[in-house]
Structure 1
Amino acid sequence: MIEPSPPDEPIEARVRRGVGQRSIVLVGLMGAGKSTVGKRLAGRLGMIFKDADHEIEAAAGLTIPDIFAIYGEASFRDGEERVITRLLREGPMVLATGGGAFMRPETRERIAASGVSVWLKADLDLLMRRVRRRPGRPLLQNEDPEGTMRRLMDIRHPVYGGADVVAVSRDVSHDRVVQDVLEAIDAYLSGDPSSRGVAAQ
């Protein structure tokens, strides 16, 4: 049974109490804003923030483009799963994951066991505007990055849709998106179906 919230309890306190020892795990495509939103969300909640991609680079002593170039995507995904598993054991925290992490069933299972997953969903135009500002994305190093992004959306969106919470990353201030995410997590923790994205539209 969910305990009633104290009167006038701030949303940050409700969410922090509701997640308990679980981590909040942000999933979604490159450019959705997982790292930027994650840092601000962690600040609002008084939680540690970790970026799985940065942790992978630190563990390997290589950049992600170099890991892809030297060892290939399959090896990168293996290392990614190991790092995310370790970080989930170190929780609770706000954890931003790479775009492909949630596609691996074993990683999804670990996130489900130790976290609340939040899909930051963004449209194609916004994703492309953002990724063009940050070159070096291994999966977009080809002649048709927009076509590649469309294919990634077709493949990954149905899987991301299995996340506990859906929030829309849109072209507004990051603080507004953080508030949307907090409200969607709060709805999820209270059993409100609006956590599936209605509140954040």
Structure 2
Amino acid sequence: MPDVITRSEPAATVISRLATRVREARKAQGLPRRALSERSGVSPRYLAQLEAGEGNISIALLQRVSDALDVKIEHLLSESAPWDMEVQRVAMLYRHAPQDVQQQVRALLAPQNPAVLRAGRICLIGLRGAGKSTLGKLAGEALRLPFVELNNEIESHTGMPLSEVMAFYGQDGYRGLEAEAVARIVERHDRMILAVAGGLVAEERTYAQVLERFHTVWLRTSPAEHMLRVRAQGDLRPMKGNPEAMEQLKALLRTRTPLYERAEAQVDTSNRTVPASLNDLMKVIASKRFLDVPAA
């Protein structure tokens, strides 16, 4: 660490520098002088003198001020401190920022090579019945990667089944939980396969996060197969009491197709067996080198 004060440095220079740095550190935190006084136990009048370069503060009182500002005392005095002071202020602002702001800061500071941001993470998108759960689980086992279904992550986090989550939080609340779940998964896993609900792509911010942090594969099939597979899973809701369900499904697919097409790759599971579709997915992962880690 550099000397806090050089032997040849005039006292007036040290006092002036100290005044400037205390004043700047206080303003960076948006602290009124009275608030700093309450934090440090140093009177507002004495702080005013200190910031004006008129105070001859003792080391004991200066330590109180530096503690209250969350700044090291040597950074208030050292000749080489301006850059360090800025780092200290930024660190302090980050520590006290809301979680969503911290996440934005991390995203800005992360490597900007898209391949680096996504490397090792694969996300399967598409309408329900395309095969995301089945193929995701099998691909995860074959590649020895964790497989996570986003809805299961939400259920685990909230401690409720999805039906209760929707009833309790509503559609908007669910979409917020969905975005938070994606962020948690990114923090937790560097290499994994994720399957998300078909409607996630309609949430612009959440989908942008997925596209940024995952290699995306659109699993697609025909509307008829979508419907058959959902019914085969024991869910008769798409057709029950709704003779226009197929037309609605086709309309939904037309609406979402431009969003799904933003994926890096596609796998068509129409009229394909599960082993054949799994083979197609594995070929895409290998040919696109989704699991490679490129240089930053």
Q: TM-score, normalised by structure 2?
A: 0.53
- Over 3 Å counting, the alpha-carbon distance change for 1:145 and 1:20 in structure 2 is closer
Please list the CA deviations of residues 114-133 of structure 1 after superposition, one character each: whole Å capped at 9, or x if unmatched.
Answer: 21000001110110001113
**2:105 maps to 1:33:** no
- AA of the residue aligned to 1:60: T
User: Which residue number corresponds to residue 149 of structure 2?
Assistant: 51
The Cα of 1:55 is off from its aligned counterpart by 1.1
Q: How many residues align?
A: 173
**2:203 maps to 1:110:** no
- Over 3 Å counting, the alpha-carbon distance change for 1:56 and 1:141 in structure 2 is farther
User: Which residue number corresponds to residue 257 of structure 2?
Assistant: 157
Report the Cα distance in structure 2 between the residues aligned to 1:114 and 1:60, rounded to whole angstroms. 24
- AA of the residue aligned to 1:122: T
- Structure 1's unaligned 5+ residue stretches are 1-17, 191-201
- Over 3 Å counting, the alpha-carbon distance change for 1:137 and 1:151 in structure 2 is farther
The Cα of 1:156 is off from its aligned counterpart by 0.9
- Over 3 Å counting, the alpha-carbon distance change for 1:139 and 1:113 in structure 2 is farther
Secondary structure of the residue aligned to 1:189 is coil
Match of 2:248 among 114, 139, 148: 148
The Cα of 1:181 is off from its aligned counterpart by 1.1
- Percent identical pairs in the alignment equals 25
User: Which residue number corresponds to residue 80 of structure 1?
Assistant: 178
Q: Are the aligned partners of 1:25 and 1:116 in contact in 2 as well (CA < 8 Å)?
A: yes
Please list the CA deviations of residues 73-123 of structure 1 after superposition, one character each: whole Å capped at 9, or x if unmatched.
Answer: 121111111111211222210111111112222222222222100000111
User: Which residue number corresponds to residue 140 of structure 2?
Assistant: 42
- Over 3 Å counting, the alpha-carbon distance change for 1:19 and 1:38 in structure 2 is farther
Identify, as 1 or 2, the structure richer in strand: 1
Highest RCO, 1 vs 2 (Cα 8 Å, sep ≥ 6): 1
Q: Are the aligned partners of 1:28 and 1:98 in contact in 2 as well (CA < 8 Å)?
A: yes
- Over 3 Å counting, the alpha-carbon distance change for 1:138 and 1:70 in structure 2 is farther
- Structure 2's unaligned 5+ residue stretches are 1-115, 291-296
Please list the CA deviations of residues 136-172 of structure 1 after superposition, one character each: whole Å capped at 9, or x if unmatched.
Answer: 5988886243233222201111100000111112233
Secondary structure of the residue aligned to 2:152 is helix
Between 103-112 and 140-149, the greater mean CA deviation after superposition: 140-149
User: Which residue number corresponds to residue 6 of structure 1?
Assistant: none
Between 23-32 and 179-188, the greater mean CA deviation after superposition: 179-188
Secondary structure of the residue aligned to 2:211 is helix
User: Which residue number corresponds to residue 9 of structure 1?
Assistant: none
- Over 3 Å counting, the alpha-carbon distance change for 1:20 and 1:164 in structure 2 is closer
Q: Are the aligned partners of 1:22 and 1:114 in contact in 2 as well (CA < 8 Å)?
A: no
Q: Are the aligned partners of 1:40 and 1:175 in contact in 2 as well (CA < 8 Å)?
A: no
Report the Cα distance in structure 2 between the residues aligned to 1:120 and 1:158, rounded to whole angstroms. 14
Q: Are the aligned partners of 1:121 and 1:169 in contact in 2 as well (CA < 8 Å)?
A: yes
Report the Cα distance in structure 2 between the residues aligned to 1:113 and 1:100, rounded to whole angstroms. 18
- AA of the residue aligned to 2:277: V
Query: Aligned runs of 1:124-139 on 2, under 5 Å?
Result: 124-135=223-234
Structure with greater Cα Rg: 2
